[in-house]
Amino acid sequence: MALATGTTAPDFTLKTKNDEGLADVTLSDNFDKKKTVLLFFPLAFTSVCMKEMCDVSDSITAYNDLNAAVYGISVDSPFAQEQMAKVDGLKFPLLSDFNKEVSTAYDVCYADLLGFKGVSKRSAFVIDEKGVIIYSESSEDPHDLPNFDAIKAALA
Name the residues annotated as catalytic. 49
Contact 155, 35 (CB under 8 A): yes
Number of CB atoms found within 10 A of residue 106's CB: 25
Cα separation, 137 vs 90, in Å, equals: 22
β-strand pairing of 35-40 with 68-74: parallel
Contact 125, 138 (CB under 8 A): no
Cα separation, 93 vs 110, in Å, equals: 23
Cα separation, 24 vs 3, in Å, equals: 24
